[in-house]
Amino acid sequence: MEVAALLDRIRAKQAKIGIIGLGYVGLPLAVEFARGGFEVVGFDVDADKVGQINAGRSYIPDVAEAAIAAVTASGRLRATTDMTQLAHVDVADVCVPTPLRKTRDPDLSYVVQALEAVAAQLRPGQLVVLESTTYPGTTDEVALPMLEARGLRVEHDFLLAFSPERVDPGNPTFITRNIPKVVGGSGPASTEAAVALYSQVVASVVSVSSTRVAEMVKLLENTFRAVNIGLVNEVALMCHKMNIDVWEVIDAAKTKPFGFMPFYPGPGLGGHCIPIDPYLLSWKARQNGFECRFIELAGQVNGSMPEYVVQRIAAALNSVKKALNGSKVHLFGVAYKRDVNDLRESPALDILELLSREGAIVSYTDPYIPTLAHAGRTLESIPFDRAIDAGCDCAVVATDHTAFDYTRIAAMALVVDTRNALKSSMRPSIFRL
């Protein structure tokens, strides 16, 4: 039986692995499988990414160039834009984005395109795994019908599972191989094969009873973070009104050894997961007649933070008798989080947009983001030393990259610190959230 033979090939590391989508999720996973002894083919519609991988180069900070160079040189990893080569893989692992539309409902177009490519080449004995974060029911309601449309049956001819990605960009401690992997299959054979697959390269694999449970796990994890960040952002707004240092409050509260987990305020949520996943969950809940009031409220609070940051910038300028209109405002950091080159959903983009609407002259420094599109033109990152020497009316720490010299930033004429990066400085010219 083809399915039984697949399990044997996986355990013997003779299965060929196809990874569809070579971004923050797919590329580290592809490298990990290749380092684990598997032959891996990476698929992406971006020819530039494919070319860089085949040349042994990395475009993601979390993936060392030496690691890619080693597995490409050994022949265990190659990349292609030719989706017809999916016919020759034993495992097709889908790792493409799932953004939101402007109406805040899920956009599965990338997932559907990837699944169409898989379905077109599907043959008996293959395992298909969906890793893209999505709402509960996607694997059963979208992926399964597409894959069975040509007559093959899940659990008999091919296998299907969902395993949510758990990548934390910029985290040097928790990486693909030591983050537990949750797996839920369309049936026992699918679950067994997916568990066997990931067990070859991940230290711990957790199996659950269904694809829906696995899909819900990821949404709970990120909704938990979004709601708690929303809470602490609201507390930060409250503390400002009462002239209390919210950072000092959190530092003291986290000394409690039980019943408290520290979360920190900031300029807003960013990245592909935390700003988006709660809305995937609330959208699906509405389809089932349930209103997620708690989740929606947290989203409103988090979404309002860029506007609050601009208010703090205006207040800082007003303290030295300057108007926001016409003032030079320079952002240090525009990536959504520290030490990554990812702009997705970054609150800094909203801050730049709001500042420009108010007539401010904006600029930025970010060693990970050389250029960005803003107001119909391209902004270029100003080197750190030049930005410090040139000065500005107000500097804003929007992303606390470790490459920045915060002593020099603290010495600037006026600073709004959204990340508590300047906590050691008590100068009155430093404004915090």
Q: What is the pLDDT of residue 169?
A: 84
Closest CA to 288 of 137, 68, 88: 137
**b or e along 175-197 (b: 16 or more beta carbons within 10 Å of the residue's beta carbon)?**
ebeebebbbbbbeebbbbbbbbb
Lowest model confidence (mean pLDDT) among 124-133, 357-366, 424-433: 424-433
Helices (H), ranges, 156-270:
188-199, 211-241, 246-253
Q: Mapping DSSP to helix (H, G, I), strand (E, B) and coil, where does residue 255 land?
A: coil
Domain spans of the chain?
Answer: 2-209, 226-432
pLDDT tens for each residue of 7-29: 999 999 999 999 999 999 999 99
Q: What is the token pair recorded at 289? A: 């007649």
Q: Is the pLDDT of residue 258 over 70?
A: yes
**Rounded mean pLDDT of 86-114?**
92
Lowest model confidence (mean pLDDT) among 82-91, 362-371, 421-430: 421-430
Written as one letter, the residue type at 337 is K
Q: What is the pLDDT of residue 18?
A: 98
Per CATH, the number for 2-209 is: 3.40.50.720
Rg value, the chain, Cα? 24
**Rounded mean pLDDT of 38-47?**
97
Q: Is the pLDDT of residue 71 over 90?
A: yes
Question: How far is it, in rounded angstroms, from Cα 101 to Cα 111?
Answer: 14
Q: Is the pLDDT of residue 367 over 80?
A: yes
Report the predicted TM-score, pTM, of the whole model to 2 decimal places.
Answer: 0.91
Within 8 A by CB and 6+ apart from 64, the residues are 58
Per CATH, the number for 226-432 is: 3.40.50.720
Q: What is the pLDDT of residue 172?
A: 87
CA angle 283, 288, 291 (to 5 degrees): 60
Could you check whether 2-209 and 226-432 share the same CATH topology?
yes
Classify the phi-psi angles of 104: left when phi > 0, otherwise alpha if psi is within -120 to 50, otherwise beta: left
Closest CA to 217 of 183, 254, 243: 183
Query: Mind telling me the catalytic residues?
Result: 273
Q: What is the pLDDT of residue 1?
A: 53
Q: Mapping DSSP to helix (H, G, I), strand (E, B) and coil, where does residue 158 land?
A: strand
pLDDT tens for each residue of 162-179: 999 998 888 889 999 999
